[in-house]
Amino acid sequence: MPASPDLPATDFPGSDRFYALLDAAVALGEPEATTDALRAALESLIRDPSVHLPDAVHTPVAGHYARRELYRSPVHGYSVVAMTWGPGQDTPLHDHDGRWCVEGVWQGELDIIRYELLETDGARARFRAAETLRAGAGSAGSLIPPHEHHVLRNPHDDAVAVSVHVYQAPLMQCARFRHDGDDWYVREQSCLTTDATD
């Protein structure tokens, strides 16, 4: 994958504190320590009344969940993406292309369905749903490869959800898995796009 240019930080009320806490967590280096610190940072930031994400991230996009990249760290290499989930919007079963990620629910609720990879034959993979969690505003969780396969879903038909995702590096592609009967799924490579932040 070609290198991507750094994205200038999106300014919003509290953004200096927001980026400083993320920088301090990612500077720890080791994946488990970093993701633990990022979870604590996101939980603190979500509850901080002085931090207000850009207005655009509260507006859903018809037909798909919105991905709005807020920042790419020129020092630590991580990326921050705000996602907006219209009523009932979800992802397919997917991975994170071998990157760790920490996800915090900023507004509303999300169902997180984690899958265990049982086996693969190259083009296909067999999964078992391992657990389903309903995450509310103020909660955060992490994914560290190889435990990165999951589905995210806004379970409500009358409410918008917003989540913030901190990726080890910009997530430009991932594998999506299309159900192929029983526990088997077909692996399909997918390029990820972003929506405007203004």
- Torsion, CA 72, CA 73, CA 79, CA 82, rounded to 10: -70
pLDDT given at position 7:
62
Neighbours of 103 (CB within 10 A): 24
pLDDT given at position 4:
44
Q: How many helices and strands, by DSSP H and E, does the chain display? A: 2, 11
What letter does residue 59 receive in the DSSP assignment? S
pLDDT given at position 152:
97
Q: Where are the domains of the chain?
A: 15-191
Nearest by Cα to 17 from 41, 43, 34? 41
pLDDT given at position 196:
83
Q: Is 183 left (phi over 0), alpha (psi -120 to 50) or beta?
A: alpha
pLDDT given at position 8:
67
- Asked if residue 187 lies in contact with residue 123, where contact means CB atoms within 8 angstroms, the answer is yes
Q: How far apart are CA 164 and CA 79, in angstroms?
A: 10
pLDDT in tens, the chain (198 residues): 333 455 667 899 999 999 999 999 999 989 999 999 999 999 999 999 999 999 999 999 999 999 999 999 999 999 999 999 999 999 999 999 999 999 999 999 999 999 999 999 889 999 999 999 999 999 999 999 999 999 999 999 999 999 999 999 999 999 999 999 899 999 999 999 888 877
Q: How far apart are CA 8 and CA 71, in angstroms?
A: 6
Q: How far is CA 64 from CA 24, 28, 100, 182, in A?
A: 33, 34, 23, 26
pLDDT given at position 122:
82
- Asked if residue 89 lies in contact with residue 65, where contact means CB atoms within 8 angstroms, the answer is yes
Q: How far apart are CA 108 and CA 82, in angstroms?
A: 14
Which CATH entry fits the domain spanning 15-191: 2.60.120.10, 3.60.70.12, 1.10.3720.10, 3.90.550.10?
2.60.120.10
CB within 8 A of 168, min separation 6: which ones?
31, 77, 78, 99, 100, 101
Asked if the bond preceding 87 is cis, omega within 30° of 0, the reply is no
Residue 178 phi, psi dihedral angles, 5° rounding: -95, 130
